[in-house]
Amino acid sequence: MASFTKRTHTCGELTAKQAGQTATLNGWLDNIRDLGAMAFFVIRDFYGVTQAVARTPELLEKLRSIPIESTVCVTGAVVPRESPNPRLPTGAIELIPAQPEDIEPLGLCVEPLPFAVSTSRDNREDLRLKYRFLDLRNPVNQQRIALRSRVIDSIRRHMRAQGFLEIQTPILTSSSPEGARDYIVPSRVHPGKFYALPQAPQQYKQLLMTSGFDKYFQIAPCFRDEDARSDRSPGEFYQLDMEMAFADQEDVFAAIEPVLYEVFRENTDADVTLPPFPRIPYSKALARYGSDKPDLRNPLVIEDVTALFADGAPPFFEGKQIRAIAVDRFAKTRRFFDALGVYMKEQGASNAYWFRLDDAGAVTGGIANALMACPASVRAGLVSMLGLQPGAAVVLIAEPKESIVRLAGLARARMGAELGLINENQFKFCWIVDFPMYERDEETGSIMFGHNPFSMPQGGLDALNTMEPLDILAYQYDIVCNGIELSSGAVRNYDPSTMIRAFEIAGFDQDVVASQFPALYNAFRFGAPPHAGIAPGVDRIVMLLAGEPNIREVIAFPMNKSAQEPMMGSPSRVTEKQLREVHIKLREPSPPGG
C-alpha cells in the first residue's frame, strides 16, 4: 500500500479552538468553487465537511487536476473564516494549504459520476442501488446506517441489563411450513436434499427454552422469499428475537416495553409512550380504529351506529353496516368532504356521507335532508352516542359487512391526515391482544389457524375440546407503533396434547405435527417449560426513528422491489460445474405458447 499522510483531525472536528494550528485531513473532494484567482474546496468524510482554500497558481493547477469524489489528503493552516457559516460545526474556520504537495490525491475518481452524491436520493432507486457505494456517501444515507448501528447497540445493552443471554441460532436449517416461501440451499454431500435459510429462529428459540436457558435474545437475520413492500424488504430482514422460560404474556410485555421505550427515547427527541403500553383487544381495534395496526396519534374513533337506523334509514343505507366518525373541527366548505368521497370511491366504497351541526345544533349539509326524513330518534341517537356539540361534523360509511371494517379504517386514517390531527412528533405504542385462534378460509370454508399455529389457546385444552373454534382466543399479541406492526408474539403451546388437538381442529393429524415439526414435538415430550416470546423488527424500528417511508433507506445494501441486488448482480447464474457439485440440473422455462 502506498504511504500517505494520515489525518490529524476528521472533517467534522476543527473549530476556532484549533485556529493557528496545522492540520491534515483525509476525505473525499466534495466540491470546488473556482473563482479564477482562488478556489474554495470542501473535503468530506463520515464525520462532516471542512472548507479549504487554494490561493496560488500552483495550488490551483493541482486542485483542478483532481476530479470531484476523489479521495485526497490536505494539509494546511487552520485560520478563521472571513464569512463564518454557523450551520456547520466547522463553519468558523478554513484550511489553507501552502504548496502543491499539501494537496495529495489518494484515490482518483476516473469514471463519470452517474449522479451527484449530494443529491443522490433524488434519483431512481434502481440507479441508486446499482451505485449504492456512491449513494451511501450521501451524509443523509450515512446517518441512517449510523442510526441503525446505535439502535442495535441500544437493544443489546438493554436486553443484557435484564439478564437476557445472546445466543446465535443456525442459518442453514430445514424447510418448514411457516407461511412464507423458503430460500433453499442444495446440499453437496447429501444428494437430493436441501437446507433452508430460516424464516425466523422460531423453533430454535423454543428449543433453547426446553434446553434450560431462561432468557434468550439475538439480532437475528431472517430470510423469506416474498414480495417487497414499503415496510418490508424482500429477501432478508433483521429482528430482535427473544424468548423467556416460565413466562406468560405479561412477562413478555414487562420485558420488551422498557427496551423499546429506551431505544426510542435515546434516538429521538419526540414524545414516546411510557410503559405500560395500552392493551387493545383485536376485536376492539377493528371496531374503533378499523385496523389491527391502529395509529393512536390519530384521535378519531369509529362508532358502529347501525342499530340507530333500525327504525328508519335512508335508502342508500338499507341492508348495510353503518360506521360514524365524528370530528370537532372540519373544513368550512364542501371541498374536504367531496375530496374524501372521491378517495373512498377509489378504495371501493359507495361514498363518504356527511353532515354537520350548525351553531344552534341543527343538522345541516351533506345528507341532512335524508336524515331529516328519518325518525327523530335517529338524529337524537347520533348526537348522544357521538357526543356531538354545535360545530361538529360526522362522516358516515355504509358498506356490506365484509368490507365495512377496512373502509371505515381508511376513512379514519384519511381524515386524520387531511385534518392535520396526527402529531408527527410522537411515537405511540400499543399492544393488540386476544387474537382469534382460528378463522374460516373464505374459499374452502374450512377452519384454519388465524395467526400463529404454535400459540397457546386461552383456556388451554379444555377450550379446544368444548368451545366453537371461531370463538377461541389465543395468547397472541402484536406490538404496534404509529400504525406500523413491529412484531407478532405469543405464549407458546408447549403441551403435546394441547398442540395435537389444536392442529386437529385445523385439519392436521398427529402424524403431520410429528413429521413437520419433529424437533419441537419430540422436545416437548421431555418436559418443556411454559414459555413466551416476541421478535420486533429492527429494520422497521429504524425506519420509524428515521422518519423514512421506505424500509430500504435504512438498510446498507438492500434488494430492490424485484428481489434483486443490482450492484452485485444477484441473483446470478452459476456454472455447470457448480450445479453438478450440488447435484442440480436446471429445467429451462417453457417458451411462450409452448
Distance CA 578, CA 136 (A): 33
Same domain membership, residue 331 and residue 235: no
Same domain membership, residue 257 and residue 145: yes
Look at residue 92 and tell me if it is in a domain: yes
Give the three-class secondary structure for 457: strand
Same domain membership, residue 312 and residue 417: yes
Look at residue 11 and tell me if it is in a domain: no
Instruction: Find where cell 404454535 sits.
Output: 454
Same domain membership, residue 398 and residue 355: yes
Query: What CATH number should be reported for the domain holding residue 331?
Result: 3.30.1360.30
Number of separate domains in the chain: 4
Distance CA 240, CA 258 (A): 14
The pLDDT assigned to 330 comes to 67
Contact (CB, 8 A) for 150 and 263: no
DSSP string, 343-408: HHHHTT-S--EEEEE-TTS-EESTTHHHHHTS-HHHHHHHHHHHT--TT-EEEEEEE-HHHHHHHH
Contact (CB, 8 A) for 136 and 117: no
Q: Which domain holds residue 27?
A: 16-107
Distance CA 216, CA 159 (A): 9
Q: How far is CA 327 from the centre of its chain?
A: 29
Give the three-class secondary structure for 496: helix
Give the pairing of strands 165-166 and 215-224: parallel
Distance CA 523, CA 419 (A): 55
Same domain membership, residue 243 and residue 306: no
Q: How far is CA 487 from the centre of its chain?
A: 10
Contact (CB, 8 A) for 554 and 539: yes
Helix H, strand E, coil C: the string for 191-211 is CCCEEECCCCCHHHHHHHHHC
Same domain membership, residue 189 and residue 147: yes
Same domain membership, residue 339 and residue 267: no
Grid coordinates given for 528: 418443556
Distance CA 206, CA 521 (A): 11
Contact (CB, 8 A) for 455 and 302: no
Give the three-class secondary structure for 229: strand
Per-residue pLDDT of the chain (594 residues; tens, 9 = 90+): 468 999 999 999 999 999 999 999 999 999 999 999 999 999 999 999 999 999 999 999 999 999 999 999 999 999 999 999 999 999 999 999 999 999 999 999 999 999 999 999 999 999 999 999 999 999 999 999 999 999 999 999 999 999 999 999 999 999 876 567 999 999 999 999 999 999 999 999 999 999 999 999 999 999 999 887 777 788 899 999 999 999 999 999 999 999 999 999 999 999 999 999 999 999 999 999 999 999 999 999 999 999 999 989 999 999 999 999 999 876 667 899 999 999 999 999 999 999 999 999 999 999 999 999 999 999 999 999 999 999 999 999 999 999 999 999 999 999 999 999 999 999 999 999 999 999 999 889 999 999 888 899 999 999 999 999 999 999 999 999 999 999 999 999 999 999 999 999 999 999 988 988 899 999 999 999 999 999 999 999 999 999 999 999 999 999 998 999 999 999 999 999 999 999 999 987 777 665
Look at residue 390 and tell me if it is in a domain: yes
Same domain membership, residue 155 and residue 90: no
Grid coordinates given for 78: 487552520
The pLDDT assigned to 94 comes to 98
Same domain membership, residue 379 and residue 441: no
Asked whether the CA dihedral 184, 188, 189, 192 is positive or negative, the reply is positive
DSSP string, 128-170: HHHTHHHHTTSHHHHHHHHHHHHHHHHHHHHHHHTTPEE----
Distance CA 63, CA 209 (A): 63
The pLDDT assigned to 224 comes to 92
Question: Other C-beta atoms within 10 Å of 76: how many?
Answer: 22
Strand-pairing partners, residue 165, are 216
pTM > 0.85: yes
Distance CA 485, CA 571 (A): 29
Amino acid present at 406:
R
Same domain membership, residue 161 and residue 247: yes
**How many CA atoms within 13 Å lie on the side-chain side of 64?**
13
The pLDDT assigned to 1 comes to 47
- Burial state string for 194-233 with b = 16 or more CB within 10 A and e = fewer than 16: bbbbbbbbbbbbbbbbbeebbbbbbbbbbbbeeebeebeb
Same domain membership, residue 205 and residue 157: yes
The pLDDT assigned to 592 comes to 67
**How many CA atoms within 13 Å lie on the side-chain side of 281?**
7
The pLDDT assigned to 332 comes to 63
The pLDDT assigned to 37 comes to 95
The pLDDT assigned to 232 comes to 78
Look at residue 380 and tell me if it is in a domain: yes
Give the pairing of strands 194-196 and 22-34: unpaired
Contact (CB, 8 A) for 456 and 493: yes
Query: What CATH number should be reported for the domain holding residue 22?
Result: 2.40.50.140
* Domain C-terminal end among 374, 390, 422: 422
* Domain C-terminal end among 362, 396, 422: 422
469: preceding bond cis by omega (within 30 degrees)? no
Would you say how long the chain is, in residues?
Answer: 594
Same domain membership, residue 254 and residue 205: yes
Look at residue 179 and tell me if it is in a domain: yes
Give the three-class secondary structure for 517: coil
Computed on alpha carbons and rounded to an integer, the radius of gyration of the chain in Å comes to 30
Give the three-class secondary structure for 66: coil
Distance CA 431, CA 284 (A): 12
Look at residue 590 and tell me if it is in a domain: no
Look at residue 286 and tell me if it is in a domain: no
DSSP string, 248-273: -HHHHHHHHHHHHHHHHHHT-SSEEP
Look at residue 395 and tell me if it is in a domain: yes
